[in-house]
Every structure is written in C-alpha cells, then in structure tokens.
Amino acid sequence: MFFKFMKGYRLKYIFASISIIISLFLSIIIPIIIKTSIDSIIGDKEVEGRYILYLLTTLEVGII
C-alpha cells in the first residue's frame, strides 16, 4: 500500500534514503579519521593495519 502512494516518486525516495545513509556514515567516520590522524602524528600511536592506513589516506585526500 505504501508503494502505491510513492508512484512517480520512488526514485527520489531511494536517492534521498541513500543520501541520508551516506551522510550518517560520513558524520561518524570523519571525526574518527581526524582523531586517528592526530594521534598518529602527535602521539606515539601507530596506525595499525594496512587497510586502515589506506582508508585514512584516501579519505583524508578526499576531504582536503
């Protein structure tokens, strides 16, 4: 019944839902990236894991 009311607007609802999910993911992951970057530069903490390091460098370049 819900899909009946969405007729003609389904693509917009799907796009909006995906946009909200991406926004939530980025609002959670960006502070983690900044914290890890600062801890690895200033502090003595090393970034563990090859994939995490690749993810951090990729996302940091994308943010800048």
For residue range 7-57, what is the model confidence (pLDDT) as tens digits?
A: 888 888 889 989 998 888 888 887 877 777 777 778 776 666 666 666 666
Give this prediction's pTM.
0.55
Instruction: Give per-residue burial for 7-21: e unless 16+ CB within 10 Å, then b.
Output: eeeeeeeeeeeeeee
Q: Which two tokens stand for residue 18?
A: 């995906």
Which of 58 and 64 is assigned the larger pLDDT? 58
